[in-house]
């Protein structure tokens, strides 16, 4: 989010002076429109935050990182021992028969 200088804010307030709404609402609208315009300018120059994060993913220096934080699709890697995990996998439960 970019900050608007006080001098620029005064100039923008003059542009919206004829609108019949409270001054704090006018200031909010000025900030919103200013941020939208800044976002478009950042995109045009290729410096928008989304573009920068995607550029890092496309960087060949990060190509070895693609497998990090992914769950393996290997069936052996997904196998879980129910006994080690403490799961009950029998028909007996504390001396009572389960249906």
**Distance in angstroms (rounded) separating the CA atoms of residues 89 and 44:** 59
pTM: 0.50
Burial readout 33-43 (b: 16 or more C-beta within 10 A, e: otherwise)? ebeeeeeeebe
Helix (H) or strand (E) holding 96: strand 96-97
Tens-digit pLDDT profile for the chain (99 aa)?
Answer: 568 999 999 999 999 999 999 999 999 999 999 989 988 888 777 777 777 777 666 655 555 555 554 445 555 556 666 667 666 666 655 555 555
**Distance in angstroms (rounded) separating the CA atoms of residues 67 and 73:** 11
Beta strands in 1-99 (DSSP E): 92-93, 96-97
> Could you count the other beta carbons within 10 Å of the beta carbon of residue 27?
15
């Amino acid at each position: 989010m970019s900050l608007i200088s006080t001098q620029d804010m005064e100039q923008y307030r003059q542009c919206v002076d004829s609108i019949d709404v409270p001054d704090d609402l006018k200031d909010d609208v000025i900030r919103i429109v200013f941020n939208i315009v800044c976002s478009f300018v950042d995109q045009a120059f290729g410096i928008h935050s989304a573009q920068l994060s995607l550029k890092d993913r496309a960087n060949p220096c990060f190509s070895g990182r693609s497998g990090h934080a992914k769950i393996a699709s290997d069936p052996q890697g997904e196998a879980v021992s129910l006994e080690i995990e403490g799961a009950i996998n029998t028909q007996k439960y504390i001396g009572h028969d389960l249906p």
